[in-house]
Structure 1
Amino acid sequence: MAQHADIIIRNAKLLTMDETAPHAEAIALSGNIILALGTDAEIAPLTGASTRVIDAKGATVMPGINEAHMHIFMGSLSLQQLSLYGVRGFEAMSEAIKAYAAANPDEPVLLAQSADYTILGAGEEITRHHLDRVLPDRPFLMYAPDHHTAWANTAALKLADLLNGRDVGVGNEVVMGNDGLATGELRETNAISPVVQLASTGGREGLGILTGGDPDSVTPEQRAGDRAVLKRGLDYCASEGITSVQNFDGNLYQLELMEDLLAAGELPVRIRIPFHMKNFMEIGMLETAAAWKQRFASDMLRGDFVKVFMDGVIDSQTAYMLEGYADRPDFCCEPLFTPQAWEAVAVKADSLGLQIAVHAIGDAAVRQTLDGYEAAAKANGARDSRHRIEHIEIIDPTDVPRFAELGVVASMQPVHVPGGSCFPLEPTIHRLGEARFPYAYAWRTMKDAGARLVFATDWPISPVSPFGCIQNALTRKPWKEGDPDQRMTLPESLHAYTAEGAWVEFMEDRKGQLKPGYLADIVMLDQDIEACPLDTVADVKPVLTICDGRITYEAA
């Protein structure tokens, strides 16, 4: 008897990402595996009495989206916090904050997301005094979109014992004013976390970034609450067509919460979570990462790579630069790891067979990261490591070809480009300076030089929609005449979000493409994305998401 499919999608524009058979009209799924692809007529005989047949009505069906860089706990929590995304001007900011405060009378520290550096207007820097005018009596903190800067009111600074300043370690800063008191601006995690830890979550959502460690104690009620927060965030990802998440902060607590969801049949996406190697950790801690790789090793949940921060971001001048900032020529910042310490981490992690992924935004941070990868290859022998660099917002031209030479992956976020759909031009381009423009956010330059490229949003740094991110990649305009055109094509962008994302996870043999025998991870869109005008791709919406053969999202 011929095998019958559990699900058939017909009348579709299938984009398979399989070079040997790039298009099809129908697809059949059996359990969690793709059974067959072909024309409607070829797939029709696989219909059985219990087969669900879905008419795509000529819309695109493609592999599920692989979000190659995000922060799932912070992103999930952001869904219930105040979003200041798109808010401009003091009055609009004040109105939004006051309404949120009124709706959350019992929250000990009010937190807001996505406040632009220029939320008050160009040239006016946010201080605690602005926030005190809005909320004089309740502790309040708002994050910049990049989460590398935040601004707190006086009540929050007093509560966290930051008003008179504090040593928060290299690369972090409580910005001080001429009056000897904190201005309210907090740069990097060590400066921000003393406030956030006093919120109702106790800052558990940020431990994966801050320490890489686990909460000291969690009540059953708190754990159940965290689980519910994560489940909501994961379901939200599924509604955006995402079937795979590569998380970029990690601890055992998050892994075990995911393990619990998986055991209960409630994990709607595949997820990998890293061991976060911090600059204060002993090198032997990497053995823990190797143990996680053995323990969490299923197709749905893996803990199989190491995350490292090399620097901060351009806007807060915490990115590590080869030459000074354009508006501060004598300042390059410092890396979070010395070259010797970073090389030791790279060599050890590589020797354990672990993939490494490094946040490096400044051109000096990118170079130092590449140097460490090169040292690892010399020490341990060249291998198919697929080590990564995250963001690469500015790169020296001499380092561009090193990605292909060393086999290093460029993990980039087109939605982050200043002047795009998410972030304003300032203060980023003013701090970069025109001389650096040609090698800033240089996706096309990197790809043309042979770098393997994966895309992501870095949610909650920017909205998680893959199609909004792709539109930025397709439509970006140069900042000045004569700069390189960094635009990508639609096929390249979709590939970076699907097949290439699977490849960077060492899972290209079973996901990222639509082909018989591969895992049934699929998204059906509301239209034919290939027929969309480039400036409307952000409007494309998933109507059906299938992960591991299970429908994880279906539009009403």
Structure 2
Amino acid sequence: MTVDLLITGARVRTFDPAAPWAEAVGVTGDRIGYVGSAADAPTARRTIDATGRLVTPGIIDSHNHLLLGFDEDAVTLEGAHDLGEVRRRIADFAARRPDLDWVCAENAVYSIVEDRRPEAADLDGLTDRPVFVTTYDQHSVWLNRVALRVLGIADGGDIAWGRPERHPVSGEPTGWVTDFYTSAMTQAGLAELQRDIPMYSPERRYRKLVSSMRMATSLGITTVVEPQVPLAELPLFERALDEGVLSSRVIAALFHPVGADAAFRAQLRNAVDSTPARDRLRLGPVKLYADDVIEPHTALMLEDYANRPGQRGRPSYADGELGAVIRELDRLGFQTHTHATGDAGIRLALDAIEGAARANGTRDRRHGIVHVECLHPDDLPRFRALGVTAAMQPRHCSPDLVAGTWMENVGEERWDRAWRFRSLLDSGATVAFSSDWQVGEMDPLVGMYSAATRAGLDGSDAWTDAERVGLDRSLEAYTVHGARAWHAEASLGRIARGMLADLAVWSTDLYGLEHDPAALLDAHAELTVVGGEIAYSAGALAEPAGGEAAADPVAARGGQDDAHVHAH
């Protein structure tokens, strides 16, 4: 036997129960043709010596907003934790870019101003142009007074892409807008954004998609689930496929807005049924919301927020409506991917999924709940019992992201409900790890570090250490569980003969770093193989692999000196 490609000399973590470890992997066509010892490996048309490295199945990122990648015509506020720094960055950017009609910024944290929401007045004096700022989780927007006036909000008008907050006494808009991402991807919301905010033009969205795709492949990610694609933006993915820039596989989850009716669900079904099966692009899951997010007190909680007596957030749907929508989608054959962060929101989603299976008599749909940030103990065993995937993001639990807002809002007495990776895995549930790019860094090594430490990227302020997850279980969540989540376990997630040849070769043996998880942040993917093709190569493997090294993912963000170190 002669294979097309042989990777040898490495430690190979296969996740195949029959042979968990190997030394060499052979690829023929788009499939794995050999797994075993280096001594017994077949001859190959091309051989890569990966001595000292680790080979794993390609990473499956089960929640990655490709369309939200960095915009070179916006300024990032990553790492800006006080108002002075935010103002400096926006002012500097506005001075550098007089050509832009709008000054847009991304990735603001909620705690920029102590003990209150940021307001329009906090942006006074920076520019005479409208300013549009998104928070790091994409669920809120911060506007200056000019933007309030241009958008008509100052005159009492509404917008289709969010809920402007108003002062309880004066009724004047504060400059803060909630419910952004749940509204922005509706047909009306997206149309208004594309009309008014240049950052949401189709061409700029496409540039983000291309940049994010390149970054994903360079990070060892071979399958990306884009979790919220409006029907109107499906052509962007078709264009990317036609232009050959889908270097990793993409599963596009179609967005179901609150209020959409049976006719819209028929449109979803038609879109999926009329789209031919492609190797790199698949449609199918449907994205829903059970609630919003904890930071602005809009996620649905079973008990009052610790710092807002009498306030428990709100559901995205009116009473019983989420259950009816999931029941209908389940009947139509759809798998759902439902955002839920608060403990009551998670329970609402679980109840809806349970009711759908009971009403329709369906089995093994593998509906998913994404984020699962605050999980009541009574609901933990229901994930396995109902066959529900927990699509979770390890980086989200890091104190440098959630201290000052999430922790205080939930209250210390409920911290043991926070991001229960280990408990869910121990229960036998499917836990599919993901990045939530660009809410969190896309790099899966950052996720592995965060799962192992529950600490910030500088190693400080670790918390809730009972839920830590070691390297092997994290890799399993990124591969085996990711494949199972999307009904792809017959072809993805393991290294075994006959499986699709989706592989990641890491710059070192990651298992040798388990005693020092911080060292994971210095490792990287050196080779990414998708369907037997070398999609990315770098470092020492670039020349022997014969592949052209992909663009540096940091440089691809536009060269901003204040961009994410690990692409948060």
2:132 is paired with a residue whose SS is: strand
Measured after TM superposition, the shift of residue 535 of structure 1 is 2.4
Q: Which amino acid aligns with 2:88?
A: E
Identical-pair percentage: 32
1:134 is paired with a residue whose SS is: coil
Conserved 8 A contact 1:67-1:244: yes
1:302 is paired with a residue whose SS is: strand
The structure 2 residue matched to 1:553, chosen from 536, 542, 545, is: 536
Q: Which amino acid aligns with 2:219?
A: E
Q: 1:252 to 1:353 in 2, by over 3 A?
A: same
Conserved 8 A contact 1:311-1:359: yes
Conserved 8 A contact 2:30-2:500: yes
1:42 is paired with a residue whose SS is: coil
Task: Give the corresponding residue for 2:541.
Answer: none
Which aligned pairs between 1:81-230 and structure 2 lie closer than 5 A? 81-120=74-113, 122-123=114-115, 125-135=117-127, 137-167=128-158, 172-176=163-167, 178-189=169-180, 197-201=195-199, 203-204=200-201, 226-230=205-209
Task: Give the corresponding residue for 2:525.
Answer: 542
Measured after TM superposition, the shift of residue 529 of structure 1 is 0.4
Q: Distance in 2 between matches of 1:35 and 1:240?
A: 24
Are 2:62 and 1:68 equivalent residues in the alignment? yes
Q: Which amino acid aligns with 2:308?
A: R
Conserved 8 A contact 1:110-1:140: yes
2:48 is paired with a residue whose SS is: strand
Q: Which amino acid aligns with 1:431?
A: N
Measured after TM superposition, the shift of residue 513 of structure 1 is 1.1
| Superimposed CA distance per residue, residues 83-123 of structure 1 (whole angstroms, 9 cap, x where no aligned partner) | 11112333322222123223332222222111111234x43
Task: Give the corresponding residue for 2:53.
Answer: 59
Q: Which amino acid aligns with 1:72?
A: L
Measured after TM superposition, the shift of residue 409 of structure 1 is 1.0
Are 2:491 and 1:510 equivalent residues in the alignment? yes
Task: Give the corresponding residue for 2:472.
Answer: 491
Task: Give the corresponding residue for 1:208.
Answer: none
1:474 is paired with a residue whose SS is: helix
Q: Distance in 1 between matches of 2:381 and 2:403?
A: 28
1:8 is paired with a residue whose SS is: strand
Task: Give the corresponding residue for 2:265.
Answer: 286
Q: Distance in 1 between matches of 2:307 and 2:365?
A: 38
Measured after TM superposition, the shift of residue 127 of structure 1 is 1.7
Q: 1:149 to 1:245 in 2, by over 3 A?
A: same
Q: Distance in 2 between matches of 1:462 and 1:179?
A: 37
Q: 1:191 to 1:445 in 2, by over 3 A?
A: same
Are 2:231 and 1:252 equivalent residues in the alignment? yes
Measured after TM superposition, the shift of residue 410 of structure 1 is 0.9
Provide TM-score, normalisation by structure 1.
Answer: 0.89
2:62 is paired with a residue whose SS is: strand
Q: Distance in 2 between matches of 1:368 and 1:268?
A: 37
Conserved 8 A contact 1:274-1:306: yes
Q: 1:404 to 1:368 in 2, by over 3 A?
A: same
Measured after TM superposition, the shift of residue 30 of structure 1 is 1.9
Q: Distance in 1 between matches of 2:309 and 2:380?
A: 24
Are 2:521 and 1:529 equivalent residues in the alignment? no
Which aligned pairs between 1:355-504 and structure 2 lie closer than 5 A? 355-420=335-400, 423-476=401-454, 485-504=466-485
The structure 2 residue matched to 1:22, chosen from 20, 23, 26, is: 20
Q: 1:124 to 1:327 in 2, by over 3 A?
A: closer
Q: Which amino acid aligns with 2:23?
A: E
Q: Which amino acid aligns with 2:147?
A: A
Structure 2 alignment gaps of length 5 or more? 539-548, 550-568
Q: Distance in 2 between matches of 1:302 and 1:42?
A: 37
Q: Distance in 2 between matches of 1:118 and 1:548?
A: 44
| Superimposed CA distance per residue, residues 369-392 of structure 1 (whole angstroms, 9 cap, x where no aligned partner) | 111111111111140110011111
Q: Distance in 2 between matches of 1:355 and 1:79?
A: 35
Q: Which amino acid aligns with 1:47?
A: A
Q: Distance in 1 between matches of 2:98 and 2:212?
A: 24
Measured after TM superposition, the shift of residue 175 of structure 1 is 3.8
Q: 1:79 to 1:471 in 2, by over 3 A?
A: farther
1:516 is paired with a residue whose SS is: coil
Q: 1:361 to 1:173 in 2, by over 3 A?
A: farther
Q: Which moved more, 1:141-150 or 1:169-178?
A: 169-178
Measured after TM superposition, the shift of residue 264 of structure 1 is 3.8
Q: Distance in 2 between matches of 1:324 and 1:480?
A: 26
Which aligned pairs between 1:311-390 and structure 2 lie closer than 5 A? 311-390=291-370
Q: Distance in 1 between matches of 2:276 and 2:413?
A: 46
2:442 is paired with a residue whose SS is: coil
Task: Give the corresponding residue for 2:562.
Answer: none
Measured after TM superposition, the shift of residue 281 of structure 1 is 0.9
Q: Distance in 2 between matches of 1:288 and 1:191?
A: 19
Conserved 8 A contact 2:71-2:208: no
Q: 1:166 to 1:362 in 2, by over 3 A?
A: farther
Measured after TM superposition, the shift of residue 347 of structure 1 is 1.2
2:209 is paired with a residue whose SS is: helix
1:88 is paired with a residue whose SS is: coil
Measured after TM superposition, the shift of residue 510 of structure 1 is 0.6
Conserved 8 A contact 2:164-2:173: no
Q: Distance in 2 between matches of 1:361 and 1:470?
A: 21
Q: Distance in 2 between matches of 1:198 and 1:254?
A: 17
Q: 1:515 to 1:81 in 2, by over 3 A?
A: farther
Q: 1:150 to 1:264 in 2, by over 3 A?
A: closer
Q: Distance in 2 between matches of 1:254 and 1:40?
A: 46
Q: 1:424 to 1:388 in 2, by over 3 A?
A: closer
1:405 is paired with a residue whose SS is: helix
2:153 is paired with a residue whose SS is: coil
Q: 1:119 to 1:354 in 2, by over 3 A?
A: same
Conserved 8 A contact 2:162-2:183: no
1:303 is paired with a residue whose SS is: strand
Measured after TM superposition, the shift of residue 258 of structure 1 is 2.1
Q: Distance in 1 between matches of 2:465 and 2:450?
A: 15
1:231 is paired with a residue whose SS is: helix
Measured after TM superposition, the shift of residue 366 of structure 1 is 0.9
The number of residue pairs the alignment matches comes to 526
Q: 1:539 to 1:382 in 2, by over 3 A?
A: same
Measured after TM superposition, the shift of residue 57 of structure 1 is 2.6
Q: Which amino acid aligns with 1:405?
A: A
Q: Which moved more, 1:545-554 or 1:307-316?
A: 545-554
Q: 1:336 to 1:358 in 2, by over 3 A?
A: same
Q: 1:523 to 1:13 in 2, by over 3 A?
A: same
Task: Give the corresponding residue for 1:519.
Answer: 500
Q: 1:318 to 1:226 in 2, by over 3 A?
A: closer
Q: Which amino acid aligns with 2:74?
A: Q
**4+ aligned runs moved over 4 Å, structure 1:** 164-171, 190-197, 477-484
Q: Which amino acid aligns with 2:59?
A: I
Measured after TM superposition, the shift of residue 191 of structure 1 is 7.7
Measured after TM superposition, the shift of residue 506 of structure 1 is 0.6
Q: Distance in 1 between matches of 2:380 and 2:148?
A: 42
Provide TM-score, normalisation by structure 2.
Answer: 0.87
Q: 1:429 to 1:528 in 2, by over 3 A?
A: same
Measured after TM superposition, the shift of residue 232 of structure 1 is 2.1
